[in-house]
Amino acid sequence: MKIMATIELRESDKKRATNLNRKNKYGLDSTQMMRLINSHQNGDAYKRTLVEYRLTDINFHREVELLMNGKYDELKEQVKQW
């Protein structure tokens, strides 16, 4: 059984993410989402956790689930339909 370590985000990073979400009126366009998908796919564990935090803050739970399961291509195809 694989046990994953919990990543603790810095408060300043969490605040920045929530401020970005507020600035964007709690939504994302397809370009912004593609950027976050690529950031998650190519990032380290901290960056992936930060992307997941930001998306969870705006209730993108299904998208976070796909990211966490490495289904990047599937999510990108869905985002192209936005």
Quick one: CA torsion of 78, 32, 7, 41, rounded to 10 degrees? 60
pLDDT tens, N- to C-terminus, the chain (82 residues) = 455 568 899 999 999 999 999 999 999 999 999 999 999 999 999 999 999 999 999 999 999 999 999 999 999 999 999 9
Instruction: For residues 66 and 64, give the distance between their C-alpha atoms in angstroms, rounded to a whole number.
Output: 5
Report the alpha-carbon distance of residue 21 to residue 26 in Å, rounded: 5
Q: Establish if 76 belongs to a structural domain.
A: yes
Give pLDDT, residue 6: 84
Q: Indicate whether 69 belongs to any domain.
A: yes
2 within some domain = no
User: What integer pLDDT is reported at residue 23 of this predicted model?
Assistant: 96
Residue 26 within any structural domain of the chain: yes
Quote the pLDDT of residue 5: 66
Q: Is residue 4 part of a domain?
A: no
